[in-house]
Amino acid sequence: MRIGTGYDVHRLVEDRKLILCGVEIPYELGLLGHSDADVALHAIMDALLGAASMKDIGYHFPDTDPAYKGASSMELLRKVGDMLDEKMYVISNIDCTIICQRPKLRPYLDQMVTNVAEALGIEESQVNIKATTEEGLGFTGTGEGISSQAVCLLESALDGPVRSIDPEEMQAGGGCAACPMRGKHPDQAEVDLLNKSEETSL
């Protein structure tokens, strides 16, 4: 298993939308950033990339690249999920804390969990998102910005014995019991790789 942590912070300013885990939250201020500045997703992505030893979001989606100006962080999260798939990492769980004095986020947390789970193709039970204030202390407590911390656990599909996968088990649009890849079907090359892993582990 591999553990990753992530942290991010963005300043609150006027004339910006406040978007957290893909949810647009009504508020007079929004987060400043090159993309949509979704501070919670940025922390989650850094945790996932860190656990996989794949650097960070600044490396993969630099703020100097105009292609990511105003980009949806939900789309970037999906890209990170695809990168984990390519390395054959399976997400065990994600835990994220949003540190925000105002506005109150509790009414939006369930939708945030749903958004993250859907983007990564995992179960909602594998995602936990919570919010806390800082009792008026620090830049988050005074409402100057919002920060977020995240931790995740990854497992490699290549670690340990894997049951041999029969390609006939795969049905279009469905899953199979042996498939480790976030509910997605592996292609034939992935099947061969998994079966080879089983042989070498015996």
Q: Which residues are annotated as a binding site?
A: 8-10, 34-35, 42, 56-58, 61-65, 132-135, 139
DSSP three-state, residue 144: coil
d(CA 153, CA 126): 10
- Closest listed residue to residue 102, CA positions, set 71, 66, 140, 54: 140
Binding site for a divalent metal cation, by residue number, is 8, 10, 42
Cβ-based neighbour number of residue 40 at 10 Å: 31
Cβ-based neighbour number of residue 18 at 10 Å: 23
d(CA 46, CA 51): 8
